[in-house]
Amino acid sequence: MSVTSITNTRQYLTFQLGNEIFAVDVSNVREILEFTTVTKVPQTPEFMRGVINLRGSVVPVLDMRLKFGMTITERTVNTCIIVVEVSFEGDTTVIGALVDSVQEVFELEPDQIEPAPKIGTQLKTEFIKGMGKRDEQFIIILDADKVFSSEELSIAQGIKGEPERMAV
Amino acid sequence: MNHIADAQSEVYKEEARELLTVLEDSLLQLERSPDDKELVGQIFRALHTIKGSGSMFGFDRIAAFTHEVETTFDLVRNSEIPVSKALIDHTLQAKDYIKLLLEEPTTDEAPCEQDLKTLIGSFNKLVSGHKETMTQNPPTNTSTTITSAQGASSSNAPAGLLTYRIRFCPASDIFLTGTNPLFLLDELQELGECRAVAQTNALSSLEEMNPELCYVAWDIVLTTDKGIEAIRDVFIFVEDTAAIHIEKVDSPGDGAAEEGYKKVGEILVERGDVKAEELKEALGEQKRIGDILIDKGIVTRDKIASALAEQEQVKEVREKKAKEEAASSIRVAAAKLDKLVDLVGELVTVQAHLSQKANSQADPELVLISEEVERLTGELRDNTMSIRMVPIGSTFGRFSRLVRDLSKELGKEIEMATEGAETELDKTVIERLNDPLVHLIRNSIDHGIEPPDVRESLGKTRKGLIQLTARHAGAQVHIEITDDGAGLDSARIREKAIEKGLISHDAEITEKELFGLIFAPGFSTAEKVSNVSGRGVGMDVVKRTIDALRGHIEVESEQGMGTTITLKLPLTLAIIDGLLVEVDKDYYVLPLSSVEECIELDHSKKTRQQDGRFVNLRGHLVPYVRLREQFGVKGDIPDVEQIVVTGSEGNKIGFVVDQVIGEHQTVIKTLSRVYKDVDSVSGATILGDGTVALILDISKLSQVGRCEGNA
């Protein structure tokens, strides 16, 4: 995914993980929930926190901090679950992303977005759509379909592998 | 416009598919009881509808082809051609072609076309064969009248019921020609619902009457689905001498419905018995119209009676039609039903939450409301589930064709009997059950039932029997496939299993376990591979499908006597009875149907054998799995744990949990595809307080337990 694919003005939802600010395209976001009781599913990697009851549907929740190689998300007043819709093996599926806090929705022009740096980030570069900037703070724009792809969520990989810590 | 046409032809296709099933069923029944007129009628009607709506929706090739078959069956219906095996064979073949044409209307392959021609040819042969016999024995006069009437009716019959008004004034010398007008009325009666009122005003006094002359005329109201031609044909021999008027009066569903029924006066005017002005004048007076007209001597009492009869009949037909429409079923997209089931599932969850809250509030009024909601939810749930239930009979019906064709192909004589066709099962279960059942029946036919000669030499009847039985057993449905064939050869299965490395040479294994091995992948004892079975794919697929439906398979067999395969399936996939247990503050549900008992695991009494993974249950050693270890749960183990003993596939296995909470109505939610690799969990459910509990897959967990036990 290169930055050239972003051609029109889009709205992004920003959220915080530790000190870094991330953003996802709002068209992926279905809703934002408070952190509720999560039921752990056995035999799954640690970053898959478990499942929640979303008005009668059972929705899996991922700990984004663990997924991106940080420490486990602690429950605070600001902890939120961003419910995103992503295409998973060709079908649309709903996944919850556990984050430290949700900030705001803002617009970005295509020319405000720069390509992802090849080095200097803890994330796999393919997760990153581009880098935005707001008040001198860099924002990492994530590609939700890539982050929540079946390979990334594959249980076998999660069990044997370390959390992502690529391209240092 | 185009998509409307598409939607319509989709409806036609669906209808045609159903009709084809009816057709096949009736044909197979007809083969058994060739004298059943009712069945012939059913077949004819099915063909007729396929043809009629086929041409309406542009399936011209279907219409043209079906027409040929229909023609043949028209003759069968009139007992002009006997029901023969050839006829049924051809018609079954024809049914397959219609299906082919239906599914792929664009295929224009020459061989298919060729086959069609041959088939039409063979139908024509049947028809012409009969014609020769016809010329040899010319039938009597009356029977020709009937057949021609019905023949005409079938070729140009419009769909739907129409009401006709017939005025039949025979010539006074009609008796001299040897015709009895009453027979004509009887014939009309055969065409449909018929009401005749005799007009006797021409009748003179007894002294003057000539008994050889006919003084009576009839007004007849007939409701029929045969065309007007059929009615004319009834009068074909008298139409030159008698005065006959036939008019269409009322067809239900046309615009007349809004106007209500015609008044007697209007009917009389329409018939030309009364002039419009006379009617108007008469209406000015405040008497009943019929009485007024009689008083005035304009019409006779009989005319009024006949008009009244017409009014009544039209009314009755409309009412009947309305009633039929009200009682008939509607088609609903399965997705809508699924949505409904989902919503009811949510409602059940919310209701559980409400009950829990109400009981803790100790407010009698609230408790009352919550109990009412509970009752309603329960009823709603049962009703919604019953909507999804369909009788298994239609699936059974399909197999009789399979048995017929396969036994013919393999040169065996096999009869299929079914029992419990009315047993209802969830639609999804039935749909997914089709393939496994086909496979099991194929197996029974191919491996089970011996060829007729072999059977005779064994002292059995030449004809083999395959019995399909479905019945309810608690919250399960049992489907049995029984054959009276050779049975399973346990020695050969054992040999094969050793050869395939499924068991060791000295393995001690019960017969039941041995039979269970036939479901292992790649296992087949058939010496040679036929196109029917023997490839060793299939039985494992059967097993997998049944597992996926949360059911299991049992095999019983006696060598030389036959085999019974029992499929035990849950009634529904949406809601099950579960046992709620707790492991370190997490809740899990075990399907109650496989739970046998719960016992305490006292650590002080733990059997020291084999790492303490067995518990002594009334003298039997039962292996157990510690869910805490299995799921990698950390934390303190309580002093007294519970073992839930389950009986999965005849083997007892225990699961150690912290605490058994109790029974729970479990609305099954599928886990996200993200968890497709987790096999110890088969789904999730939402508890009364809104948290999620996981449903454990006992058979998968048992396998894990067994592996560890053996290791």
> In terms of DSSP H, where are the helices of B192-329?
228-234, 256-259, 264-271, 276-284, 289-295, 301-327
Q: CB–CB of B652/B645 below 8 Å?
A: yes
- Residue B444 pLDDT exceeds 50: yes
Place of tokens 């796999």: A124
CA B531 – CA B158 distance, rounded (Å)? 46
**Cβ within 8 Å of residue B476, ≥6 positions away:** B551, B568, B569, B570, B571, B593
Strand B586-591 relative to strand B692-696: parallel, antiparallel, unpaired? parallel
The neighbouring-strand residues paired with A15 are A22, A102
Give the confidence band of B299 by pLDDT, cuts at 50, 70, 90. Answer: confident
- The pLDDT of residue B114 is 67
B436: pLDDT confidence band, cut at 50, 70 and 90? confident
**Residue A130 pLDDT more than 90?**
no
End-to-end CA distance of chain B: 68
pLDDT at B283: 66
What CATH class does B334-390 carry? Answer: mainly alpha
pLDDT in tens, B34-48: 777 788 888 888 888
Decide if B393 contacts B422 (C-beta within 8 A). yes
Burial B657-690 (b: 16+ CB within 10 A, else e): bbebeeebebbbbebbebbeebebbbbbbbbbeb
Contact B250, B264 (CB under 8 A): no
The whole-number average pLDDT for the span A58-64 is 91
Contact across the interface for B587 and A39, Cβ inside 8 Å: yes
Model confidence at B129, pLDDT cuts 50, 70, 90, reads: low
ipTM over the 0.95 cut-off: no
B199's CB contacts (< 8 A; 6+ apart) are B169, B216, B217, B218, B219, B300, B302, B303, B306
Q: What pLDDT does A47 receive? A: 87
CB contact under 8 A, A43 and B680: yes
pLDDT of residue B262: 65
- Whether B674 shows a pLDDT value over 90: the answer reads no
Return the CATH number of the domain spanning residue range B2-138: 1.20.120.160
Check if the beta carbon of residue B569 is closer than 8 Å to that of residue B477. yes
Cβ-based burial of B6 (10 A; exposed 0-12, middle 13-18, buried ≥19): exposed
**Whether B234 contacts B145, CB under 8 Å:** yes
How does pLDDT run across B522-568, given as a tens digit for each residue? 676 555 555 544 444 567 778 878 877 777 788 888 888 888 999 88
Domain limits of chain B? 2-138, 151-327, 334-390, 392-570, 575-710
At B324 the pLDDT is: 66
B378 and B347 Cβ atoms separated by less than 8 Å: no
- Interatomic CA distance for residues B170 and B196, integer angstroms: 14
Give the pLDDT band of residue B294 (cuts 50, 70, 90). Answer: confident
Closest Cα in chain A to B587: A39
CATH assignment of B575-710, given 1.10.645.10, 3.30.470.10, 2.30.30.40, 3.40.1360.10? 2.30.30.40
Tell me which H or E stretch contains B558. strand B552-558
pLDDT of amino acid B558: 85
Determine, for residues B675 and A40 on separate chains, whether the beta-carbon distance falls below 8 Å: no
Residues in chain B closer than 8 A to A41 (CB atoms): 671, 675, 678, 681, 694
| DSSP-assigned letter for residue B216 | -
pLDDT tier, B703 (very low <50, low <70, confident <90, very high otherwise): confident
Cβ pairs bridging A and B (under 8 Å): 80
Interface residue A159 vs chain B (CB under 8 A): no
Mean pLDDT lowest for which of B438-452, B532-546, B669-683? Answer: B532-546
- Per-residue model confidence (pLDDT) at position B362: 80
pLDDT, residue B155, reads: 38
- Contact list in A for residue B581 (CB cut-off 8 A) is none
- A95 neighbourhood in chain B, CB within 8 Å: 672, 674
Q: What's chain B's Rg over C-alpha atoms?
A: 36
Q: From B632, which residue of chain A is nearest by alpha-carbon distance?
A: A42
Task: Please tell me which of the candidates A40, A58, A88 has its beta carbon nearest to residue B671.
Answer: A58
Distance from CA of B678 to the nearest CA of A (A): 7
Report the DSSP pairing between strands A137-142 and A20-25. parallel
Give the pLDDT score at B108: 52
- Nearest Cα residue in chain A from B683: A58
- Residue B674's contacts (CB-CB under 8 Å, 6 or more residues apart) are A48, A60, A88, A93, A95, A150, A153
- CB distance A84 to B699 below 8 Å: no
Cα–Cα distance for residue pair B355/B368, rounded to 1 Å: 10
Tokens for A9? 């003005």
Is A54 near chain B, with CB under 8 Å? no
pLDDT value at residue A82 = 94
Closest-CA residue to B196 (of B184, B205, B204): B184
Q: What is the pLDDT of residues B197-247, one digit of tens each?
A: 887 777 777 777 777 788 888 888 888 777 777 777 777 777 777 778 787
The beta strand positions in B649-709, using DSSP E, are 651-657, 659-667, 681-686, 692-696
In one-letter notation, the amino acid at residue B365 is E
Of A36, A41, A57, the CB nearest to B681: A41
Residue of B208 and B413 predicted with greater confidence = B413
Closest among B590, B598, B589, B588 to B622, alpha carbons compared: B598
The average pLDDT across B90-117 equals 71
Read off the pLDDT band of A96 (50, 70, 90).
Answer: very high
How many CB atoms lie under 10 A from the CB of residue B593?
19
Is the separation of the CB atoms in A75 and A35 below 8 Å? Answer: yes
Catalytic residues of B: 48, 70, 443
Contact B693/A44, CB-based, under 8 Å?
no
- In 10 A of CB B177, how many CB atoms? 11
CB B519 within 8 A of CB B488: no
* Letter string b/e over residues B490-522, b meaning 16 or more CB atoms within 10 A of that residue's CB: eeebbebbeeeebbeeeeebeeeebbbbbbbee
The verdict on a CB contact (< 8 Å) between A93 and B690 is no
Q: What is the pLDDT of residue A13?
A: 93
Q: HEC states along B488-536?
A: CCHHHHHHHHHHCCCCCCCCCCCHHHHHHHHHCCCCCCCCCCCCCCCCC
- Which of B631, B680, B684 lies closest to A58 in CB terms? B684
Q: Which residues of B touch A151 (CB under 8 A)?
A: none
Residue B624 main-chain phi, psi, to 5 deg = -140, 160
Helix (H) or strand (E) holding B14: helix B2-32
| Chain A (64-93) residues lying within 8 Å, Cβ to Cβ, of chain B | 88-89, 91, 93
Q: Can you tell me which residue has the tokens 């496989």?
A: B594
Shortest Cα distance from B370 to chain A (angstroms)? 20
SS3 content of chain A, % helix, strand, coil (to 5): 20, 45, 40
Return the sign of the alpha-carbon dihedral for residues A98, A99, A100, A102.
negative
Distance from CA of B706 to the nearest CA of A (A): 18
The predicted model gives B620-646 an average pLDDT of 83
- Mapped onto helix, strand or coil, the DSSP state of residue B17 is helix
Distance, in angstroms, between B85 CA and closest chain A CA? 51
Residue type, A62: L
Question: Is the pLDDT assigned to residue B664 strictly greater than 70?
Answer: yes
Token digits of residue B279 = 């009617």
The tokens 């399979």 sit on which residue?
Answer: B402
Q: Are the CB atoms for B321 and B252 separated by under 8 Å?
A: yes
pLDDT of B627 > 80? The answer is yes
Per-residue pLDDT at B1 = 46
The residue that leads in pLDDT, B108 or B58, is B58
- Nearest chain B CA: its distance from A116 CA (Å): 28
Q: Please answer whether residues B642 and B599 qualify as being in contact, where contact means their C-beta atoms are separated by less than 8 angstroms.
A: yes
Confidence label for A7 from pLDDT (cuts 50, 70 and 90): low
Q: Is the pTM of this model over 0.80?
A: no
Q: For residue B113, give the amino acid letter.
A: E
> For the sheet containing A101-108, what is the strand order?
A101-108, A10-17, A20-25, A137-142, A128-134
**Distance, CA of B694 to CA of B705 (rounded, Å):** 19
CATH number of B392-570: 3.30.565.10
| Mean pLDDT value across residues B243-268 | 62
Per-residue pLDDT reduced to its tens digit, B304-356: 788 888 888 888 877 777 766 666 777 788 788 888 887 887 788 788 778 87
Please tell me the distance from the alpha carbon of residue B655 to that of residue B711, in angstroms, as a whole number: 18
* Of A96 and B462, more confident: A96
Strands B464-473 and B414-419: parallel
Residues of chain A with C-beta less than 8 angstroms from the C-beta of B631: 42-43
**E-only strand ranges, chain A:** 10-17, 20-25, 29-34, 48-54, 57-63, 80-88, 91-99, 101-108, 128-134, 137-142
Helix (H, G, I), strand (E, B) or coil at B557: strand
Model confidence at A84, in pLDDT bands (50, 70, 90)? very high
Give the residue from B464, B384, B478 showing the smallest Cα distance to B433. Answer: B478
The pLDDT of residue B105: 58
**Which amino acid type is present at position B559?**
Q
Query: B673 and A59 in contact by Cβ < 8 A?
Result: no
Domains of chain A: 3-160 (2.40.50.180)
Residue A134 pLDDT class (50, 70, 90 cuts)? confident
Considering only CB atoms, which chain B residues are within 8 Å of A45?
Answer: none
Q: In the structure, what pLDDT confidence band is assigned to residue A83 with cuts at 50, 70 and 90? A: very high
- Which CATH topology does B151-327 take? Alpha-Beta Plaits (3.30.70)
| DSSP 8-state class, residue B638 | P
Paired strand residues for A134: A137
Q: Which of B548, B546, B549 is nearest to B566 (CA)?
A: B546
Determine the angle formed by the axes of helices B85-103 and B2-32, rounding to 10 degrees: 160
Average pLDDT, chain B: 76
Structure tokens at B316: 């009755």
Sign, CA dihedral B216-B219-B225-B231, equals positive
pLDDT at A15: 92
Per-residue DSSP letter, A114? B
A91-99/A57-63 β-pairing: parallel
Q: Which helix (H) or strand (E) holds B542?
A: helix B539-548
